[in-house]
Structure 1
Amino acid sequence: MNEEPVIERRTVLKGAALLTSLLVLPAFAATPDAHDAGTPADATTLAEVPYSTGAGLTVERRGAIALFGINRPHIQNRVDPATFIALARAYYDYDHDPSLRAAILFGHGDDFSRGIDVNAFKALAGTGKPLISGNNVIDPLAKTRHLTKPLIVVVHGDTWNMGHELHLVADIRIAAANTRFGQDENTHGRFPGGGSTVRFVRDAGWGNAMRYILTGDHWSADDAYRMGVIQEVAPTQQAALERGIAIATKIAACGPLGIRTSLASAHLAIDTNEAASLAQLDAQYGALYRTQDFQEGRNAEAEGRAPVYQGK
């Protein structure tokens, strides 16, 4: 599979716009004074976004707010390793730029994300190596550390598997009414290896999470709201993004040290028991990739038939 271009990190996100080699969203002036961070700019519209640039991740700056867009609509925004690494670098840059106060992750096209690009990830997972490593990155699945600044995730359309897990990392979650959530890895001989077995259980409750993880059934935005996994349902994709921007603007107007301390204090209350479980996920996921059942799941999907699993 040919890897498509993704953004390249040049420096921390300062200046007239978030600096990338493929800036595909309109650039907006950086906030000259931190006290002006809450001043709203012109509305973002999804119609302004060109889809033909080939960038796997788009980056936009709006004053003190950063917007990151998964941009692989030709494959339902399935995330390949290059796009995952680009997002990890973008998260790091956001977290280390004092002029940025809030960030939003969303998806271009008809879907937020159907999860990982399995074929692109298969070779990497088989090595047992982590998805990302080194400096100047923050794991978008927050297996080892969280962002110290707020993250809002806005979802729509198909939001499955890793797409759902990227959404679960957020501090605030907004969904369009047409969102279809899914965590169906078990039907394909895999398991939710990006944190859903920890965070979905925590946020929705054991029975609600197991109802969908163990069956592979999908659920709606209204179901997610009922379970407390999302905070708001907006009528359309555009309305959901606008609502996310409105919330981010309010956050950006608050004292940044208080915001950081609020997040740090809240994480202290929930992270201690999660750390051990999250630390095991990469090894567990890599082990499943090397099983016969995993290959059977891939073969059955390609051949359009029901899989026959042997537990091997």
Structure 2
Amino acid sequence: MSEQDDRAREQAVEWVGMEVVDTTAVITLDRPPVNAMTMAMHDRIGELARQVARTETIKAVVLTGNGRAFAAGNDIAEMQDMSVTQMAARVHPMQACFTAVAKLPKPVVAAVNGYALGGGCELALCADRRIASSKAKLGLPEVTLGIMPGIGGTQRLPRLIGPSQAKDLIFTGRRVDADEALRIGLVDEVVEPEELMERALAWAGQFRDAASWALRWAKEAIDTGLETDLDTGLMIEATGFASLFGTDDRRLGMKSFLEEGPGKASFRGH
């Protein structure tokens, strides 16, 4: 690793931070003025996602940005002089970092506090839920640079809002405000800016005492099932359903239901 690479990595650690609030990991992009992401920042996001996946005491994740943007895209200055060969070698690691977020075996919510454009929008698409500030602007403007989305936008967006709506946003590169994003299903909830983090933390915090393995299997069944046919999806569901009968949480949950009624079990995550 070169000295330049070392410096980029050090900067990425400064620009992508994580703190744990109770049982929720809050991953924050903080590179003024608009949190444009460098490639080292992509790597850092992937590293943190894999770290969170291994940490049993973390039950959920909030993704957000500091200041007036969630992330206003990737660092175009860094990409400007890259050759086909250089980008071909880099694009798969970039995708892998965001996929590490999408495949986190825990609930993930994006708190979209401002601009979520290009790579920033693609990162938000990796979350299970998106809560937007009323001042948020989202979009995939890559075509206006003569390129296309390359970190999951052409794949995750159509799966979320349908191919026709996705093509409109990707072909035109236009931005949508929070209200339109809510209407087309790009975000799930819109709140005032001062309420955003409180709402995101509240959503994530409800999983503090949840049955972790049940959540893990449910997420796997939904996400994997959407990418396959119904029969295969049902097989994935059946495998997860049966597997959960080997967990302590299943025994605790059913015992509590029979003795105390629904919703009163204290799970252990095993």
Which category describes the TM-score, using the shorter chain as reference length? 0.7 to 0.9
TM-score by length of 1: 0.66
Written as runs of structure 1 = structure 2, the 5 A alignment for 1:215-226 is 215-226=172-183
Residue 31 of structure 2 corresponds to residue 5 of structure 1: no
Q: SS in structure 2 opposite 1:213?
A: helix
Number of the residue aligned with 2:39: 81
Alignment counterpart, residue 28 of structure 2, candidates 58, 69, 72: 69
Deviation at 1:262, TM superposition (A): 0.8
More helix by share: 2
Number of the residue aligned with 1:113: 71
How far apart are the structure 1 equivalents of 2:132 and 2:102?
A: 25
Q: Does the 8 Å CA contact 1:6/1:86 hold for their aligned counterparts?
A: yes
Alignment counterpart, residue 129 of structure 1, candidates 68, 73, 89: 89
5+ long unaligned stretches in structure 2: 230-270
| Amino acid in the other structure paired with 1:257 | W
TM-score by length of 2: 0.75
Written as runs of structure 1 = structure 2, the 5 A alignment for 1:202-217 is 202-217=159-174
| Amino acid in the other structure paired with 1:156 | N
Number of the residue aligned with 2:248: none
Residue 12 of structure 2 corresponds to residue 59 of structure 1: no
How far apart are the structure 2 equivalents of 1:113 and 1:232?
A: 19
Deviation at 1:97, TM superposition (A): 0.7
Deviation at 1:65, TM superposition (A): 0.8
Deviation at 1:147, TM superposition (A): 1.5
- State the identity as a percent: 25
Deviation at 1:175, TM superposition (A): 0.4
Residue 52 of structure 2 corresponds to residue 94 of structure 1: yes
Q: Does the 8 Å CA contact 2:47/2:97 hold for their aligned counterparts?
A: no
Residue 133 of structure 2 corresponds to residue 176 of structure 1: yes
Q: Does the 8 Å CA contact 2:139/2:176 hold for their aligned counterparts?
A: yes
| Amino acid in the other structure paired with 1:112 | F
Alignment counterpart, residue 166 of structure 1, candidates 103, 119, 123: 123
Residue 213 of structure 2 corresponds to residue 257 of structure 1: yes
| Amino acid in the other structure paired with 1:254 | A
Number of the residue aligned with 1:268: 224
How far apart are the structure 1 equivalents of 2:181 and 2:137?
A: 10
Distance 1:142 1:124, change over 3 A: farther
| Amino acid in the other structure paired with 1:174 | I
Q: Does the 8 Å CA contact 1:106/1:154 hold for their aligned counterparts?
A: yes
Number of the residue aligned with 1:190: 147
How far apart are the structure 1 equivalents of 2:95 and 2:208?
A: 21
Alignment counterpart, residue 245 of structure 1, candidates 184, 188, 201: 201
Deviation at 1:138, TM superposition (A): 9.1
Number of the residue aligned with 1:295: none
Deviation at 1:142, TM superposition (A): 1.3
Kindly provide the CA deviation profile for residues 4-30 of structure 1, in whole angstroms up to 9, marking residues without a partner as x: 6232xxxxxxxxxxxxxxxxxxxxxxx
